[in-house]
Amino acid sequence: MRVRHPAALDAHEDGMIRSGKSNSHSPVFSWLLRAALGLAVVQSGMIVAPYTASAVPSYARQTGQPCATCHTAFPELTPYGRQFKLGGYTAGGTRCGGDSGLAGYLGGSKDVPSAFATNEPQIPISFMTNSEFTHVNTKDFPNNNQTSVRETSIFIAGQLYCNLGAFVQMTYSRPDQVFGLDNADIRYANTTKLAGVDVLYGVTANQNPTVQDVWNTVPAWSFPFIDSTLAPAPAASTMIEGTFQNRVAGSGAYVWINNMVYAEISAYGALDAKTQHDLGADPTGPRFAGAAPYWRLAVEKTWDQHSLMVGTFGMAADIQPVGAGPTPTALSFPGMTDRFTDVGLDAQYQYLGDIHAFTVRGSYIWEHQKLNAEFANNASANPNIDLDSFKISASYIYDRTISLTGGYFGIRGTSDALIYADNANFSPNSNGWVADLAYMPFSKGGPKEWPWLNARIGISYTHYDKFDGTSVGASDNDTTFIYTWFAF
Amino acid sequence: MKAISFKLALQTAVLTAVFSTAGLADGGDAAGPAKGDVQTKVEYCKNCHGAAGEGFHGYYTAPRIAGQTVKYFENQFKALLDRKRDDPIAKMFMVHALDGMSPSTRAGVASYFSRLNPPPLERGRGSLAAKGKKIYEDGVPDASVPACFACHGQDAKGDAENPRLAGQLSSYTAAQLAGWTKYRQKDPTTPGASNVMAQIASNLTKPQIEALSAYLSSLK
Amino acid sequence: MKPIRLTIALLAIVSSSVSSLAGDSDVIGFGEKYVSRNCTWCHGPSLQGFAISPRLAGQGRQYIENQLERLRSHSRNNPYSVAYMANTAASLSPETAHAVAVYLSTLTPETRADGNKDRAAEGEAIFQGGIPSSNVPACAFCHGPEAQGVREMPRLGGQSYYYLKRRLTQWNEGYSGSAEHMPGVASTLSPDNIEALASYLSFVK
């Protein structure tokens, strides 16, 4: 559940830091100290929340497992976390007809108290809050060195009933001052045996292509897992990289054969402007016309402490551009659609020792845009453009408590004087790297008073070698981002 | 310092080495079993025969060896090594287990276990044990079965080549009695064999064997 | 007592002690329900094992019950047991643990076959006869000629090579043994022996 910087939600949006004289003489220690104090003040205010896991604590309560069972460093998933999600988020649940009658039968053991030991049906509600401090390299940046509450979310996550489960996150975003749906994935899953082979099958309904996936290679769940809502971000991204979160709804069916082969077909359709607005989405973004198919195939070999996945995913959509005319939510070129096709290749290797864990993951997305609508209306210089997005990152996690991640990202595509009018060289290209150091003190169990508490406190640095078409001044956009992230 | 001829030094070294290893090889016999070796082997035996030699039920059953007579140990070791004892479990495990154990080590192991006396692993079943007691003390005159105590002792603790039976696992005793001729009489001249027992075992009925075994298993 | 009456009497005693709950099929049915919701997501949809979680299908009832108790009480103390299973086991009452164990013991185990094939022959020799010269006892004596296990001694045949290797190695690292027995046995095994043994066992049907 990464929350994207709003600017990146629209592939064609503008408003980024340009090249300019860089000024980076702010004493690092002083603003870091201010950041830390600011965060502490802000976050402590948030802890007085009515109730007390991304790591979703309601999953911990339901399964009796600590966060570290499903997550190396949340939200990154272990093989068990993937199994839990593919199985419909219902493992450990006792809310199922006759099962709840079994709760009394199950008893639980009173002589060996465990905070996680309970067989009563759990209420699948959790909360999350995070706060951020952002420092951007250039002194021209308007909201620099700001500490603020970033988001507060309520989750409905866990077994709803029997084999039906959910991961529904509703978020109030402080910077945007909007409360809306963030991620929603409701699914039903079951297992059977076909020709002696275990087959898990399920259906999912969700509103963000790739949110239903279980590998940390796909856009909805890839590194970096949390980023600043204030910092600049490259303007260009492929459509499957979150552009249509909350603008579409879709459903599909999947199978997970013998814990090795994952295959899914889904389809997404547009939500109308009013629904988008009600869900908290920005209705001025582009819209799907008709149904857009989505597919995903992954093959994973798991052996002992290792797993290796190679896969592909993609989506093809007819897109109606929005907002070029006087009304920001109206179709720009009614009756005309672009055709976007995204094809991704991804791979992930994970090692899970009892103390050390290590993951390396990468994805390469090719996007081909047939700009039928724009080109016919002189809104693009080219009839077709390509846009490729490449990400690779590696994480080392010590004792599920400290994680160090480094990643490279690059987006590269056809230059177009009209589509990328505001970019240097009219090029969408950006690339750079991100490093993140995070501390998760409660992965293996929270304090005695509230064992399902989980926290991630981290510092992230993003460096741009190229930003929106040029390397000149790209590093002015370099961002230091400190975050505290609590779930309970 | 005088230079010492290398050749001489080498010869000396080789001779020393030869004599000292030779000493080691016989040292066991000459000075009594090397303690370390016996201790290690004893632990090895305990893996199957129980932490105090009281016997153990794994997938297979290993008999009680605690308190067994030294002479009986010696006879059975010989019968096993000479491939004269034919019961399947003994063949499966004991021949191989005795591999490479020197006579002195074997003697040391036997001596060690003969001095142990843990409580019996099993508790003989009540009424069956009572029946077994009767047979043990009176024999079965009608079937030409003499009273067992005459050779095995009032307390069933055995004497020389007549083994201790007290505390022996019932399934083991029963199996040996039922299969005596097949298991033990392959070569009647071997010390482990016994024509007397062959006769007795064939004269006992199955219920009598079960009763006897139950009784013996409970004896301390 | 006539043989037939004795047999019936014995059967009655045996079956009533096995099903301490109302009806065997009830026990198995409940065990199945519990296991499918709580155990399959880590141990595999058919309980044949997954990642580091061992195969449970076809494991001995007594062994499983003993392990659940030892996990609850933290006397089974190796890192993965503590991290993943201690809390899980804590939520099981003795009745549930019994039902789970009975159900799992009825399942057909599948051979993991994930060891080194070329070490298997050597492993078989160790398993069947031990290594008298280094005082390794014959595993088959307790675990059965097909490593099928009996009573509290687990079925080893077809278990994952990685899991078996890890357990044997852990005993040599000082972690507790289910039987006081096993750490001592493991101490006689060299890493090479363990490699061969674990490989062999993973192929045993």
pLDDT given at position A452: 86
Q: How many CB atoms lie within 10 A of CB A464?
A: 25
Q: Which chain C residue's Cα is nearest to B98? A: C132
From C33, C41, C87, residue closest to A99, measured CB to CB: C33
- Structural domain includes residue C74: yes
- Spatial CA neighbour of A454 closest among A40, A70, A39, A36: A70
Residue type, A278: D
Residue at C11 is within a domain:
no
Smallest Cβ–Cβ distance between C91 and the set A79, A93, A118 belongs to A118
φ and ψ of B99, to 5 deg: -50, 130
Question: Judging by beta carbons within 10 Å of its beta carbon (0-12, 13-18, 19+), is residue B118 exposed, middle or buried?
Answer: middle
The model's confidence at residue C45, banded by pLDDT at 50, 70 and 90, is very high
CATH classification at residue A321: 2.40.160
The reply to whether C19 touches chain A by the CB within 8 Å rule is no
Residues C21, C100 within the same domain: yes
Dig out the tokens for C159 from the structure. Answer: 């278990």
Nearest CA in chain C to A98: C33
Which tokens is C6 given?
Answer: 């004795």
Instruction: Tally the residues of chain C.
Output: 205
Asked if the Cβ–Cβ distance from B59 to C149 is below 8 Å, we say yes
| Amino acid found at A400 | R
Q: What is the number of structural domains in chain A?
A: 1
Residue A35 is part of which domain span?
6-487
Specify if A437 maps to a domain: yes
Nearest-CA distance from B163 to chain C in Å?
24
Cα atoms in the 13 Å half-sphere on the side-chain side of A88: 27
Is the predicted pLDDT of residue B171 greater than 80, yes or no? yes
Q: How many other CB atoms sit within 10 Å of the CB of residue B17?
A: 10
Q: Which pair of structure tokens corresponds to residue C140?
A: 């088959």
Does residue B35 have a pLDDT over 70?
Answer: no
What pLDDT, in 10s, does the model give residues B36-71?
A: 689 999 999 999 999 999 999 999 999 999 999 999
Out of C50, C80, C105, a domain closes at C105
Q: Identify the pLDDT of residue C25.
A: 79
pLDDT exceeds 50 at position A71: yes
pLDDT for position B124: 72
Total of domains in chain C: 2
Among C103, C110, C83, C124, residue whose Cα is nearest residue C27: C103
Confidence of residue B5 (pLDDT cuts 50, 70, 90): low
Contact present, C191 and C154 (Cβ < 8 Å): no
- A1, part of any domain: no
Whether residue C94 is found in the same domain as residue C129: no
Nearest residue to B172 (alpha-carbon basis) of B29, B65, B85: B65
- Same domain? C78 vs C128: no
Spatial separation of the C-alpha atoms in residues A445 and C86, rounded to whole Å: 12
Q: Let me know how long chain A is.
A: 488
Residue at C136 is within a domain: yes
List of chain A residues whose C-beta atoms are within 8 Å of the C-beta of residue C34: 102, 106
C169 touches chain A (CB under 8 A): no
Residue A3 has pLDDT above 50, yes or no: no
Q: Is the pLDDT of residue A44 over 50?
A: no
C121 and C190 co-located in one domain: yes
- C127 and C195 in a single domain? The answer is yes
- Most B CBs within 10 Å, among C141, C153, C182, to test the B interface: C141
Half-sphere exposure of C61 (CA within 13 A, CB side): 15
Min distance C39 CA to chain B CA atoms (Å) = 29
Joined together, the tokens standing for residue A322 give 């929005």
Chain segment A209-218, per-residue pLDDT in tens? 999 999 999 9
Q: Is the pLDDT of residue B217 over 60?
A: yes
Please indicate, yes or no, whether residues C76 and C121 belong to a single structural domain of this protein: no
Q: How far apart are CA C26 and CA C10, in angstroms?
A: 23
Q: Is residue A112 predicted with pLDDT exceeding 50?
A: no
H or E element at residue B61: strand B61-62
Instruction: Go through chain B and tell me how many residues it has.
Output: 220
Summarize pLDDT for A163-214 with one digit per residue, the tens.
999 999 999 987 778 888 989 999 999 999 999 999 999 999 999 999 999 9
Contact (Cβ atoms closer than 8 angstroms) between residue A140 and residue C116: no
The 3-state secondary structure of chain A reads: CCCCCHHHHCCCCCCCCCCCCCCCCCCHHHHHHHHHHHHHHHHHHHHCCCCCCCCCHHHHHHHCCCHHHHECCCCCECHHHHHHHHCCCCCCCCCCCHHHHHHHHHCCCCCCCCCCCCCCCCCCEEEEEEEEEEEECCCCCCCCCEEEEEEEEEEEEEEEECCEEEEEEEEEECCCCEEEEEEEEEEEEEEEEECCEEEEEEEEEECCCCCCCCCCCCHHHCCCCCCCCCCCCCCCCCCCCCCCCCCEEEEEEEEEECCCEEEEEEEEEECCHHHHHHHCCCCCCCEEECCEEEEEEEEEEEECCEEEEEEEEEEEEEEECECCCCCCCCECCCCCCEEEEEEEEEEEEEEECCCEEEEEEEEEEEEEEECHHHHHCCCCCCCEEEEEEEEEEEEEEECCCEEEEEEEEEEEECCCCCCCCCCHHHCCCEEEEEEEEEECCCCCCCCCCCCCCEEEEEEEEEEEEEECCECCCHHHHCEEEEEEEEEC
Which pLDDT score is estimated for C176?
A: 85
pLDDT of residue A2: 36
Look at residues A185, A341, A331, A183 and name the one whose alpha carbon lies nearest to residue A270. Answer: A331
List Cβ neighbours of B27 (8 Å cut-off, separation of 6 or more).
Answer: B34
Same domain? C139 vs C198: yes
Do the chains A and B touch each other, judged by at least 3 C-beta pairs below 8 angstroms? no
pLDDT digits (tens, 9 = 90+) for A302-358: 999 999 999 999 999 999 998 877 888 888 898 999 999 999 999 999 999 989 999
CB contact under 8 A, C137 and B100: no
Task: Give chain B's largest Cα–Cα span.
Answer: 92
Chain centre to alpha carbon of residue C26? 23
Report residue C49's pLDDT band, with 50, 70 and 90 as the boundaries: very high
Q: Is residue C7 part of a domain?
A: no
Residues C49 and C127 in one domain: no
Is C45 inside a domain boundary? yes
- The pLDDT, as a whole number, for residue B10 is 57
Identify whether C12 is part of a domain: no
The answer to whether residue C23 neighbours chain A at the CB level (below 8 Å) is no
Does a cis peptide bond (omega within 30 degrees of 0) precede residue B207?
A: no
Q: Is the peptide bond before A66 cis (omega within 30 degrees of 0)?
A: no
Inspect the interface and report whether the beta carbons of C135 and B59 lie closer than 8 Å.
Answer: no
Q: Which residues of C touch B (CB under 8 A)?
A: 129-130, 132-133, 135, 137-138, 140-145, 148-151, 153, 180-181, 184-185, 188
Tokens of B196: 């007397």
Is B58 close to C150, i.e. CB distance below 8 A?
yes
Q: Between these two residues, A365 and A121, which has the higher pLDDT value?
A: A365
Q: Sign (positive/negative) of CA torsion A61, A66, A71, A77?
A: negative
Out of B43, B58, B99, name the one closest to residue C142 (CB).
Answer: B58
CATH of residue C157: 1.10.760.10
The answer to whether the CB of B214 falls within 8 A of the CB of B132 is yes
pTM of the shown model: 0.85
Q: What share of chain C is helix, strand, coil (3-state, %, to 5)?
A: 60, 5, 35
* A87/C34 touch (CB, cutoff 8 Å), yes or no: no
Give C143's contacts in chain B (Cβ within 8 Å).
Answer: 58-59
How far C138 CA lies from chain A's nearest CA (Å)?
Answer: 27
Q: Which residues pair with A252 in a beta bridge?
A: A204, A266
Which positions in chain A touch C162 (Cβ < 8 Å)?
303-305
Of the candidates C77, C105, C133, which is a domain's last residue?
A: C105
Judge whether C140 lies within some domain: yes
pLDDT-derived band of residue A28, with 50, 70 and 90 as boundaries?
Answer: low
**Are A108 and C93 in contact (CB < 8 Å)?**
yes
* pLDDT score recorded for residue B34: 46
Q: Which residue has the higher pLDDT, A97 or C101?
A: C101
Q: Which residue has the higher pLDDT, B141 or A100?
A: B141
Put residue A184 in one of left, alpha, beta given phi > 0 → left and psi -120 to 50 → alpha: beta
**Mean pLDDT, chain A, whole residue set:** 85
Interface test with B, best of C2, C5, C135, C182 (most B CBs within 10 A): C135
Output the CA–CA distances (angstroms, integers) from residue A129 to A196, A482, A486, in the order listed: 45, 14, 5
Chains in touch with C (3+ beta-carbon pairs under 8 Å) read A, B
C30 and C56 within one domain:
yes
All residues of chain B having their beta carbon less than 8 Å from the beta carbon of residue C188 are 44
Q: Are residues C61 and C82 in the same domain?
A: yes
Q: What pLDDT does A25 receive?
A: 41
Query: Do C86 and C152 have their domain in common?
Result: no
Q: What is the pLDDT of residue A17?
A: 28
CB pairs under 8 A between A and C: 109
Predicted confidence (pLDDT) at residue B2 exceeds the cutoff of 70:
no
pLDDT of residue C20: 44
| 3-class secondary-structure state, position B183 | helix
Spatial contact of B48 and C141, defined as CB atoms under 8 Å apart: yes
> Which residues does chain A have within 8 Å of residue C114's beta carbon, measured at their own beta carbons?
303
A259 and C45 within 8 Å at the Cβ level: the answer is yes
A53 compared with A393, residue with greater pLDDT: A393
What is the mean pLDDT of the segment spanning B13-28? Answer: 45
Q: Between A80, A92, A107, which is nearest C95 by CB? A: A107
Average confidence score pLDDT of chain C: 88
Q: Is the residue at C128 inside a domain?
A: yes
Question: Domain for residue A308, yes or no?
Answer: yes
Q: What is the pLDDT of residues C86-120, one digit of tens each?
A: 888 888 888 889 999 999 999 999 999 999 999 99
Beta-carbon count within 10 A of C174 CB? 9
Which pLDDT belongs to residue A119?
A: 64
**Which residue of C38, C41, C43, C78 is the best one to mutate when testing the A interface, meaning the one whose CB has the most A CBs within 10 A?**
C41
Q: How do strand A338-352 and strand A454-466 relate by DSSP bridges?
A: unpaired
When scoring A198, A306, A355 by the number of chain C Cβ atoms within 10 A, the one with the most, hence best to mutate, is: A198
Same domain assignment for residues C177 and C121: yes
SS3 B56: strand
Boundary residue ending a domain (C105, C136, C171): C105
Chain B residues whose CB is inside 8 A of the C137 CB are 44, 47-48, 97
- State both tokens at A405: 């991640």
**Cross-strand partners of A180:** A171
Contacts of B120 (CB under 8 A, 6+ apart): B54, B64, B166, B167, B217, B218, B219, B220
pLDDT at A466: 96
pLDDT higher at C199 or C2: C199
Chain centroid offset of residue A128 CA: 15
Full residue range of the structural domain in which residue C196 is found: 117-203
Whole-complex ipTM:
0.88
pLDDT at B32 over 60: no
